[in-house]
Structure 1
Amino acid sequence: MVISIVDNGGWPVQTKQRRISGAAAAAACGILALVTGCSSTPVTGKHDAKPTASRASDPVSPGPSPANLKPVQGQRLRHYLLTTNDLGPGYTQTVTPDDKKAADPHRYDDIGVSGCPALEELSKHSDEVQFATKTSAGFTFGADSTLGEELHSDTPSKLSAGLRRLVHAQTSCSTYTMTSGSTPVTVTVHKDAAPGPGPDAYAYTTTLNGPGRASVLKTAAVRHGNVLVMLVGAPALVDGHIEAAVAKLPAS
């Protein structure tokens, strides 16, 4: 995860830090991935309301019990992503973090975190929160507000346990320091009301304060059967579209 909200030529970091990567790096920023690094301008007031997305459905046939659902693969998983048609006027699709990482597999290597033991511990075991399949989409709204979506699929038990661990790590510290290279960013986190019923629905807001600029991001995550959806971006955009994102998930 690359921090893009600050650029002051690099400040020295006085605290000891642990380098993190992969899912741990993403969790440190408050999400599994972002559209344009950790940059988002808060949206105030109204924006064009989203159309209500109908739940995607698969052909009805006898299948495994919910507890034994297998991961959704490839293009079938992509079918459940939001599109600009779902979001409404004013949205433009962008290059996703997956595309950027494919071009530069080491783009998250310079991320560090200090002052949050749970995130530092997660960095040692990031392979334990990797899911079987993943796809993502990114959007901008207006001049510079972003909305990112990730879908992950695995068995329900693995998704549930991994999501709990990621959210616990991210929300266990109200304040910590993250760095990109040598530039320090103070991160503050607070939990929000869950975006839906059930034990695997979470939301929290992350504020990142760097030299000369602050940025506010909201994350909402919901597991439905063998698919996990996460939205992150400007709080108003996340709040406005999480229901539509969940509605597109396959019926379990």
Structure 2
Amino acid sequence: MHTKQRRVTGAAAVAAFGILALTTGCSSTPATGKHHTKPTASRAAGSPASPGPSPVDPKPVQGQRLRHYLLTPDDLGPGYTQTETPDDEKAADPHRYDDIGMSGCPALEELSKHSDEVQFATKTSAGFSFGADSKLGEELHSDSPSKLSAGLRRLVHAQTSCPTYTMTSGSTPLTVSVHKDAPPGPGPDAYAYTTTLHGPGGTSVLKTATVRRGNVLVMLVGAPALVDGHIEAAVAKLPAG
């Protein structure tokens, strides 16, 4: 019997629940987007253990300065349309994930009880579509490097700890399968995994890639080829770490 868990917010919502928003209209076959990813060596996700805060950590990036680091349609190239801007999140329904629950993954259920530990000081986001049925979402988060690193490790550990679990959107059950992918870059805070959702409407495949550079982390979620094709550009836009 499914037991609905406490609502997860912030980066955890994007990684675990926000993927549902991208499944609407997504093709069951991952879009090619004419993008290619460079092969990299596999690396296991880091431990969820959290380092202590450093007194020399820089302050979080705020407001317009953080939005400056988001991808734009000009960065992505022909065929992309922006569907969500940073201003859209101001009007977002704070209860939009209230009808979403999960079961069968203790690590995610535990994270839902401590979601404040993976919420960061500042955030901005954008969304894009490519062609008729492929979507790409981007979030930037900023906080001290130590807090970003610890929170990101905990988030990815929880999200990839269960090969399969069940998610519900309203009364609709979805079977979720997750597998780790090669990280999108070097360093201890680069992670990627692919999520496959099986439901009454068919199967959707989405990839999440996230990288921390200094006091900013970027997270891309969407069609695997689009994420692979643009994570390098997204990281390149971040401030030097």
Task: Give the TM-score band, short-chain normalised.
Answer: 0.7 to 0.9
Q: 1:183 to 1:70 in 2, by over 3 A?
A: same
2:168 is aligned with 1:168:
no
**Structure 1 unaligned blocks of 5 or more:** 1-13, 50-64
**Structure 2 unaligned blocks of 5 or more:** 37-53
> In structure 2, what is the Cα distance between the partners aligned to 1:220 and 1:247?
14
2:195 is aligned with 1:206:
yes
> In structure 2, what is the Cα distance between the partners aligned to 1:69 and 1:82?
23
TM-score under structure 2 length normalisation: 0.85
> In structure 1, what is the Cα distance between the partners aligned to 2:93 and 2:229?
32
TM-score under structure 1 length normalisation: 0.81
Q: Is the 8 A contact 1:185 1:208 kept in 2?
A: yes
Matches within 5 A, 1:4-43: 14-23=1-10, 24-29=12-17, 33=18, 36-39=21-24, 40-41=26-27, 42-43=29-30
Q: Is the 8 A contact 1:19 1:110 kept in 2?
A: no
List structure 1 segments (4+ residues) > 4 angstroms apart after TM superposition.
Answer: none
- The corresponding residue for 1:216 is 205
Of 97, 100, 124, the match for 1:108 = 97
- The corresponding residue for 1:4 is none
Q: 1:162 to 1:90 in 2, by over 3 A?
A: same
> In structure 1, what is the Cα distance between the partners aligned to 2:64 and 2:93?
23
- The corresponding residue for 2:39 is none
Q: 1:48 to 1:221 in 2, by over 3 A?
A: closer
> In structure 2, what is the Cα distance between the partners aligned to 1:217 and 1:230?
13
- The corresponding residue for 1:93 is 82
Matches within 5 A, 1:137-216: 137-216=126-205
Task: Give the letter for the 2:102 counterpart.
Answer: V
- The corresponding residue for 1:131 is 120
Identity in percent: 78
Q: Is the 8 A contact 1:20 1:113 kept in 2?
A: no
- The corresponding residue for 2:51 is none
**Matched residue pairs, number?**
222
Task: Give the letter for the 1:192 counterpart.
Answer: D
CA RMSD of aligned residues (A): 2.4
Provide, for residues 122-157 of structure 1, a one-character-per-residue CA deviation record: whole Å limited to 9, x for no partner: 010111111000000100000010001100000000
Task: Give the letter for the 1:172 counterpart.
Answer: S
User: Cα distance, 1:248 vs. partner?
Assistant: 0.5
Matches within 5 A, 1:72-87: 72-87=61-76
Q: 1:116 to 1:130 in 2, by over 3 A?
A: same
Higher radius of gyration, 1 or 2: 1
> In structure 2, what is the Cα distance between the partners aligned to 1:66 and 1:34?
35
